[in-house]
Amino acid sequence: MRDRKRNDRKPKQYPRLTHPMVRDNGELRRATWEEALDRAAAGFARTTQEYGADAFGMFSCARSTNEMNYVAQKFTRVVMGTNNVDSCNRTCHAPSVAGLSAAFGSGGGTSSYQEVEETDLIIMWGSNARFAHPIFFQHVLKGIHNGARMYAVDPRRTSTAEWADRWLGLNVGTDIPLAHAVGREIIHAGLANTAFIERATSGYEEYAAEVEPWTLSVAEQVTGVPADAIRELAHAYATAERAQMCWTLGITEHHNATDNVRALINLSLLTGHVGRYGSGLQPLRGQNNVQGGGDMGAIPNRLPGFQDILEPEIRTKFEAAWNTVIQPRYGMNLTEMLDGIERGVLRSVYCIGENPAQSEADCEHTIKRLEMLDHLVVQDIFLTKTAELADVVLPASASWCETEGTATNSERRVQRVRKAISPPGEARDDIAILCDLAARLGHDDWKYADSEEVWNELRAVSPDHYGMTYARLEEHQGIQWPCPSEDRIEPTYLHGRLWEKDPARRGMPAPFGPVKHSPPVDLLDERFPIRMTTGRRLDSYNTGVQSSGFASPMRRGEYIELSPEDAATYGVEAGEEVRISSRRGDVTAPVWIDPGLRPGLAFMTMHFPDEVDTNQLTIEATCPIAGTAEYKATAVRIDKPAVSV
């Protein structure tokens, strides 16, 4: 039985922003739109004049529409003249995009939700989709109903794992040893798809040598997963007719996250479970439009349509379309921009729909950095902790019910978003605000009659989106990219080319990534003996801005979740307040006892930072390729707070 004792701390209610604000004498005060826009634009112009275009950075919004992200990145590149634009993709799936791009040349998930219903095997690797992707999970349940087997690979026996045929409860940060042992077992059992490997891949020999030391028993020692469970997973994956490998942050929020992703992709190359109907790789994306934000070019290395900035003919195309000059180099990603603030090179930030003051690892450090900025403009729907630090606050309409546009989900499906109600007070559409700022910065020709006009501008420069008119999106109830033609719908899965017999049509082979195990950076020792991982619950959303204010019988606020064994060892009871310390800070929270946790493993969410600021504990160690932080592995200790006298 799970402990049901409630946390009686009151949730913070975030006020919806209904009018602009500017900072005077250290305080935010109400302002008119004219005043706030003038102030915002003047600050951006000033930092650029003084320090150059690259002193500006844009944090774009993965909650908002494709159209808004298209305009936000265009604002960054054309109006401000820099490629410093990024979004929360950096904190979650940038490693998936990097890993998939390295293997296949494109960063999208390779299959569709429908295929999950018609597959034979579903692996949920580091994903608690039952909580975090409940709509996708309906497709998983249909797949199970249709006879698919399911394996869950997660340190915690999660609500997702409860639906699995088998749960592999590995130690945090041991995914590469586990994947390598699965790969080795497939090879040694003679179950590798040699025809596919020869035809469609490269680097197999190196990969086989890399996995060779990872016998089942060595892997059992390192991962904590029994050898027979590893063998079972290996045989199930290799012998399945169709198999879906799904992963999320258990794989990507690590200092070696891109390597983790490569380790899973390797398994698909070894077995041929990619590039055909029913078999594929699915990184379930995070925020509702984080896939679309990246597709629209709100990332520092790609122009809209995931087109590489370093390719001269791509730049030439966009320079002609936008009548501008695009810098021939990658901009800074979100992690680099935060570093850049501290180094004094990034002086102004335009933050649209992000709350880094609470979402970044080691957030006290992030807050100090944001305070160092010469000019911070925050455009949000609520007065967030980040907005409280801003020089100018601009109230936006909420993308999901107050604006028109499109959004793109994890299966690359672009769907229409509808305006159902008007935004409150003086709040305005994100795109209209961006255009008004552009006008003040010398681009008074930025006028869009509606979101469809933005979309058609994007279609003209992005071959993958060209065939998706608004009318067709409506007719087909959403269309997956790529969609290069107005009279065709492409297959639901990517990389079918790998199965072509004709080498010319098959194209570049997909390389194996010979990656190595690297344990978490935040080491366990006598002072910090507990491995804490962080993540999500069904009833709350990210930093809680959009979900704290609601009353739900499910809502139970922040806890430190411990195994029954650890609770006994530390002599703590359910509901008792304890101090949780890491090498960066400490917080207090009540205890929740979860029998789904193994001894030595603790869990906290990121949902209630105003009650318990979990990210004061987490470590900034980031993946050097993708820039994503190791939110999933913090070393902590637990103490009963001293009784004050």
Ligand X SMILES: Nc1nc2c(c(=O)[nH]1)N[C@H]1C(S)=C(S)[C@@H](COP(=O)(O)OP(=O)(O)OC[C@H]3O[C@@H](n4cnc5c(=O)[nH]c(N)nc54)[C@H](O)[C@@H]3O)O[C@H]1N2
Task: Say which amino acid occupies 177.
Answer: P
Q: Give the C-alpha separation, 217 to 305, whole Å.
A: 45
Q: Is 405 in the site for ligand X (CB under 6 A)?
A: no
Q: Is 258 in the site for ligand X (CB under 6 A)?
A: no
Task: Find which of Mo ion, ligand X, none residue 197 binds, CB within 5 to 8 Å per kind.
Answer: none
Q: Which stretch binds ligand X (CB under 6 A): 148-156, 437-445, 500-508, 571-579?
A: 148-156
In the complex with Mo ion, the residue whose CB is nearer, 175 or 253, is 253
Candidates 21, 37, 88, 187: give the one binding ligand X (CB under 6 A): 88
Q: What is the DSSP letter of 6?
A: P
Q: Give the C-alpha separation, 35 to 28, whole Å.
A: 13
b/e per residue 384-395 (b: at least 16 CB within 10 A): bbbbebbbbbbb
Q: Give the C-alpha separation, 115 to 120, whole Å.
A: 10
Between residue 283 and residue 312, which ones bind ligand X under the rule CB under 6 A? 286-287
Whole-number minimum distance, CB 35 to ligand X, in Å? 19
Q: Which stretch binds Mo ion (CB under 5 A): 86-94, 264-272, 346-354, 574-582?
A: 86-94
Between residue 616 and residue 645, which ones bind ligand X under the rule CB under 6 A? 618, 631-632
Between residue 234 and residue 253, which ones bind ligand X under the rule CB under 6 A? 248-250, 253
Q: What are the two backbone dihedrals, phi and then psi, of residue 228, each rounded to the nearest 5 degrees?
A: -65, -30
Q: Looking up tokens 């994890």, which residue turns up?
A: 410
- Specify the DSSP element, H or E, that contains 151: strand 149-153
- Specify the DSSP element, H or E, that contains 635: strand 634-639
Q: Looking up tokens 């001293």, which residue turns up?
A: 642
Task: Find which of ligand X, Mo ion, none residue 354 binds, CB within 5 to 8 Å per kind.
Answer: ligand X
Candidates 127, 348, 408, 410: give the one binding ligand X (CB under 6 A): 127
Q: Is 63 in the site for ligand X (CB under 6 A)?
A: yes
Contacts by 187-192 with C-beta closer than 8 Å and gap 24+?
A: 187/211, 187/270, 189/234, 189/235, 189/238, 191/234, 191/235, 191/238, 191/239, 191/271, 192/238, 192/270, 192/271
Whole-number minimum distance, CB 504 to ligand X, in Å? 39
Q: Which stretch binds ligand X (CB under 6 A): 349-357, 366-374, 475-483, 504-512?
A: 349-357
Between residue 533 and residue 592, which ones bind ligand X under the rule CB under 6 A? 533-536, 538, 540-543, 545-546
Between residue 278 and residue 297, which ones bind Mo ion under the rule CB under 5 A? 286
Q: Which residues are within 8 A (CB) of 537 and not within 5 positions of it... i.e. 6 or more apart?
A: 131, 605, 607
CA distances from residue 50 to 84, 236, 297, 377 in whole angstroms, order as listed: 17, 61, 27, 18
Q: Residue 95: name the closest of 522, 632, 483, 603 by CA.
A: 632
Q: Is 468 exposed, middle or buried (0-12, 13-18, 19+ CB in 10 A)?
A: buried
Q: With contact defined as beta carbons under 8 Å apart, do 601 and 158 qualify? A: no
Q: Is 614 in the site for ligand X (CB under 6 A)?
A: yes
Q: Give the C-alpha separation, 354 to 358, whole Å.
A: 9
Candidates 77, 156, 375, 413: give the one binding ligand X (CB under 6 A): 156
Q: Which stretch binds Mo ion (CB under 5 A): 32-40, 85-93, 118-126, 276-284?
A: 85-93
Q: Which stretch binds ligand X (CB under 6 A): 135-143, 226-234, 298-306, 379-387?
A: 379-387
Whole-number minimum distance, CB 127 to Mo ion, in Å? 12
In the complex with ligand X, the residue whose CB is nearer, 48 or 287, is 287
Name the residues that contact Mo ion, by CB under 5 A: 92, 286
Name the residues that contact ligand X, by CB under 6 A: 61, 63-64, 88, 91-92, 125-129, 131-132, 153-156, 158, 170, 172-173, 175, 248-250, 253, 286-287, 352-356, 359, 379-382, 384, 396, 398-399, 430, 533-536, 538, 540-543, 545-546, 606, 614-615, 618, 631-632
